[in-house]
Structures are given as structure tokens and as C-alpha cells.
Amino acid sequence: MTPSSRTLEANPTGLRGLLRDLRSPVVSGRASAPALMPEQLGDPAFLKEHGVRYAYATGAMANGIASEALVEAGSKAGLLSFFGAAGLAPARVEAAIDRLDKLGAAPRGFNLIHSPSESDLENAVCDLYLRRGVKLVEASAFMGLTPAIVRYRLHGIFRGADGRVVAPNKVVAKVSRVEVAEKFLAPVGETLLRELAASGLITTAQAELAAEIPMTQDLTVEADSGGHTDNRPLVAMFPAMIALRDRLQAKFKFKNPARIGAAGGIATPDAAAAAYMMGAAYVLTGSVNQSCVESGSSDKVRAMLAAAGQADCIMAPAADMFELGVKVQVLKRGTMFAQRGAKLYEIWKAYDSIEAIPAAVRSSIEKDLFKENLDAVWASTREFFLKRDPSQVVRAEKEPKHKLALVFRSYLGQASRWANAGVPERVLDYQVWCGPAMGAFNEWALGSFLQEPANRNVALVARNILYGAAVLTRAHFLRCQGLTLTPDITRIEPLTAAELERLLD
Ligand SMILES: Cc1cc2nc3c(=O)[nH]c(=O)nc-3n(C[C@H](O)[C@H](O)[C@H](O)COP(=O)(O)O)c2cc1C
């Protein structure tokens, strides 16, 4: 026994305390649990590759909800934090790059989101990242590989002195489908490489090197989550993705096998511990971070989120992929957005133009949702798209159903902005992306200082989750060796920043 280890015999009633002292092993006869710090959870190669202290990422949240302040706080605490670039104009994203450049070499990344209805925007953001030397992106919403994401990944690729192919641009790809995962865990396909080389977007030398690396080094498996989600359970999906990675690794024999991380539903020590136990190289959180003080949302939304229970989420039409019938998971409690969005989708399905909507239906949505005449809504929507993507206006003026979709999408899009800005007269229209992780966190924080959203900050929440996950992992070791652990031993209470500093730093 090492001098620092303590036996249960020496402290038979103090198992709770021993388990929490993570620096010391716990030993009891034949049962023991090693010292285990949060830095040891997940894959050490992930820590090394990204230069982070913890195998814990905070995911991008659109419209700057994953704000500069959130990324700064995460980065300083040793997390891998992604700025929420989706939905923002390139100039606004560039302002974020300017501010986050002040972090120097400290890790951070930016979202590169697939925009099926706005491929110009996807390309413009990709160009911006290449021009500004952004070295890490979180790629999301992809249904397959696009020229933009491939161009980003292969930019600056070279063969190092040791013979390994080095891709300076890193991609952490978030997926919830095996078919999409397959694309990211394999080298870029030959046909796409040939097309890109033929159009001069990559060189033939880059195309050759691309065959030796997977499209992404880190793949986040996203289960039922806030925002875009297929509502799949993590425990079912994660092992399937690991199996896929293993199969592709056996086939391609990459020098550095891709890592698989877990997201969706993770906002408690228990969930994080379970994800690491399944083999997650890292965990990634979303919903819980929106309720933290650094998020780009409003205090009103933070209060609504802090009051959410497990079942207070619902699927609603997505603004960006409205016509495809794609849905996003949002907060149900305290807002009528989901019902109102669903109503707009039904109307869009049923009618081919603004003029075809029956008068009673039209006046009801004008009065309750838009609070103005649909013709006036079209006028402002038209102005918006003339600046952002004029091809949409050209198409809408030829196709009345597309015009109707743009008008309805304007409500869905603004509903998120009203929430972020905390516009008081629009509370019932707030679109707040949120998954069941929020209710799980609230349940865990109930009765503690973290119940109050003003006390939630991203680093404190992350370090609590990580600390608790380490305690629970040790408890699991002891249980496997025949010890019965009562709830008073395994219950993890939220700790203050000062307490965590004492225990972890
Ligand atoms: C408010 C909000 C906005 C989000 N926006 C984006 C986004 O723009 N891009 C993206 O890749 N993921 C987005 N996500 C997903 C998160 O990055 C993360 O993957 C997810 O929230 C994890 O699941 P959880 O909500 O159960 O924690 C968003 C999530 C939330 C809650």
C-alpha cells in the first residue's frame, strides 16, 4: 500500500469521503479503486492532439449562443470549445475570430455547418476560415461530404519527415447516422477528389495524400440532443459507431485511428461517466451550456431553461431545412413556438402560395404569429435575402410556394433571435433549442446553488460533471469487486468553484 492510500478499515464509515478524494487510491481488503483525476477520463490522444486538459468539449450553438465569452471560458478551463457560427453572416463570424485570436495558442474551434439551401454561405464561411487560418472546425449537419468541408480538411496537407501525412486543419465531425459517419471515418472518395482536383479546388498532390487519412480524426456521435437531432439513444448508437470505426480502421489501417466522442443527453456526472465507460474518447455538451451565464442567450431564456424538466422538450420545424420537413428539438415549457411552427408547416404543405391560404387562416397567423400582413412580411424577407442570398429571391419570384416557405422561415428564424434578445412581448414565440439533458441537469442541481442560472458558468458546470464522473467511476470499480454502495455514498452534489479548485488543481 502506498503511504497516501487509505484503507476502508482505517475509516470504515468514511467511504463517501475517501471516494471523493480523487488523488488517493481507496483500498479495502481485495477491493480497491485507483486514484483517478478528471484529466484521466477519455482518450489521452484527444488531449494531446487538441492541447486541452479535459476530454470534454462544448458544442457549437447557432447564432452565437455558443458565444465568444463561452469559448473563452471553456478554453481557459482546458475544455475544447466551439463558437456558434451557424446562422451568422461571415462578417460577424470574422469579428469572433478577431476576438478569439486573443486566446493565442489556447484551443478553440468554429462551427462549419452544412447549409443545403445556402451552399454559397457554406463556401463563404469555409473561405473565411481558410483565409484567417482557423485550424479547427466542428463540422455538423452534413449528410455527405461537400466540396467546402473537403477543401477545408485538405488545405495545407503534407507528408511529415516521419512519413506520416499531416493535415494541419482539424475537423471534429458531428453525426447521428451510420451512413454519414462512414463518409467521415474513411478517406475522401476518389470521385469527389477527382472532381475537386479537376475544378482546381485542390491539387493532385493533396488528393493523393488524402487517401492516407480519415476525413475526420474525431467523430462526435450525437444522440438525442437540443437542436437538430434524430432523437436516437446514445447507448444504442454509440457501440454501433465504435464497431463502424473498427471496421473501417481494419480496412484502411490509418496510422492514427479516428476517435469517437459522445454527445446528446450529457449534462450530469452519471451520464459523462457512462459515456467514458462506453469508450467515448471525449464527451460534448450543448443544452446545459445555453443555461450558463456566458451563453449568447438572454436571462429570460436562462430562467426558462433552469425551470425545464425531463419531458419539457418537443420537436418543431427547423428554419434552415423547413421544406425538407426536418425538425429540431426545442423547449416546450413556457413558449408556444413548437405548436406555431408546426401550424406553419401544415399550412405550407397544404397551400401553394400566400394567396391560396384561406382568409380566416391567413388572418389568424397574421394576428397571432407575424403580427403584420404577410405581404409586409414578404417585403422585409425579400430585403433580408437580397443581402444574404439573392438567388432565393429570384427563385421565390418564380415559385410562389418557395416564397411562402421563405415567409414562414422568417418567423422560425426570428423566433430564435427574439429568444436570444429576450424580447418580452415575444416570449410565446421563443424558439429555444434544448434537449432532455437540460432537465437532467436541473434535476441534479435541484436544491443546490446551481439551481440558480446566475450561478451556472460553463467551466464550473464542466468541472462538476467531470469531478462527479471520476467519483462515480471509482464507485463503479468498488461495486464490481463486491461492495454495496448506498445512495448516500454515491450521490454527487454540485461543488463550488473554490471546492473544486481544492480538489482538482
Ligand atoms: C441552443 C443550441 C443550439 C445549437 N446549435 C448548434 C449549431 O449551430 N451547430 C451544431 O453543430 N450544433 C448545435 N447544437 C448542438 C450542440 O452543439 C450539441 O451537439 C448538443 O446540444 C449536445 O446535446 P445536448 O443538447 O443533449 O447536450 C445546438 C444545441 C443547442 C442546445
pLDDT digits (tens, 9 = 90+) for 131-149: 999 999 999 999 999 999 9
Q: In the structure grid, which three cell numbers stand for residue 455, read together?
A: 450561478
61, 79, 438, 461: residue to mutate for ligand 1 pocket, most atoms within 8 A of CB: 61
Radius of gyration of the chain (CA): 24
Rounded to the nearest whole angstrom, what is the distance from the C-alpha of residue 260 to the centroid of ligand 1? 17
Residue 329 in contact with ligand 1 by CB distance below 6 A:
no
Asked whether 458 and 289 are in contact (CB, 8 A), the reply is yes
Q: Helix 390-398 crosses helix 400-421 at what angle (to 10 degrees)?
A: 140
Rounded to the nearest whole angstrom, what is the distance from the C-alpha of residue 55 to the centroid of ligand 1? 18
Asked whether 441 and 270 are in contact (CB, 8 A), the reply is no
pLDDT per residue as tens digits for the range 281-340: 999 999 999 999 999 999 999 999 999 999 999 999 999 889 999 999 999 999 999 999
Q: Which atom of ligand 1 is nearest to the CA of 85?
A: 8
pLDDT at 466: 98
pLDDT at 6: 43
Rounded to the nearest whole angstrom, what is the distance from the C-alpha of residue 140 to the centroid of ligand 1? 10
Residue 172 in contact with ligand 1 by CB distance below 6 A:
no
pLDDT at 145: 95
137, 287, 305: residue to mutate for ligand 1 pocket, most atoms within 8 A of CB: 287
Angstrom CA distances, 404 to 223, 252, 328, 350, 375, stand at 32, 47, 20, 11, 10
Q: How far apart are CA 41 and CA 242, in angstroms?
A: 17
In eight-state DSSP terms, residue 82 is E
Q: Which atom of ligand 1 is nearest to the CA of 60?
A: 17
pLDDT at 321: 86
pLDDT per residue as tens digits for the range 63-96: 999 999 999 999 999 999 999 999 999 999 999 9
Which residue matches cell numbers 502506498? 2
- Which residue owns the Cα nearest ligand 1 atom 5? 61
Write down all domains in the chain, each with its CATH number in brackets: 52-286 (3.20.20.70), 301-431 (no CATH)
Q: How far apart are CA 279 and CA 169, in angstroms?
A: 25
Maximum pairwise Cα distance, the chain: 82
Q: Which residues contact 150 (CB under 8 A, 6 or more apart)?
A: 188, 192, 193, 196, 202, 210, 215
Closest C-alpha among 290, 271, 288, 289 to residue 280: 271
Kindly give the parts of the chain with pLDDT less than 50. Answer: 1-12
pLDDT per residue as tens digits for the range 338-354: 999 999 999 999 999 99
Q: How far apart are CA 311 and CA 278, in angstroms?
A: 25
What is the identity of the amino acid at 47? L
Question: What's the residue count for the chain?
Answer: 505
